[in-house]
Amino acid sequence: MSTTASADIAKGQKWYVKNCKECHGDGSKGAALHTQDEWEELFGNSAKLLIKKHEGSKVELYFKGDEFKDRSKHIRDFLFEYGSDSGNVPAC
């Protein structure tokens, strides 16, 4: 899947740092948790698999809320861009 025209990797990185870094580490560590194909699968179908993985966690409400829904395309593109098999490393 190519990057959505309206998605922004830099915004995704910013929101990753704000919402995910505490549990998953900095952007290079967090993005490398999965390959690009795995990120595609996790974010597919309105990110249902990713949301399910966070059920029962302290961030469950974030993943079920409008903020995640509005920003998930940016976060997805950031994580996809720097997935473990991408050869890319974010500067964060």
Per residue of the chain (92 residues), what is the pLDDT tens digit? 444 456 899 999 999 999 999 999 999 999 999 999 999 999 999 999 999 999 999 999 999 999 999 999 999 999 999 999 999 998 75
What confidence score (pLDDT) does residue 5 get?
53
- The pTM (predicted TM-score) of the whole model is 0.87
What confidence score (pLDDT) does residue 3 get?
45
What confidence score (pLDDT) does residue 92 get?
56
Structure tokens at 80: 């996809």
Residue 7 has phi, psi (to 5 degrees) of -85, 155
Residue 78 CB coordination number (10 Å): 28
Greatest alpha-carbon span in the chain:
33
From 25, 40, 20, 24, select the one nearest 83 (Cα to Cα): 40
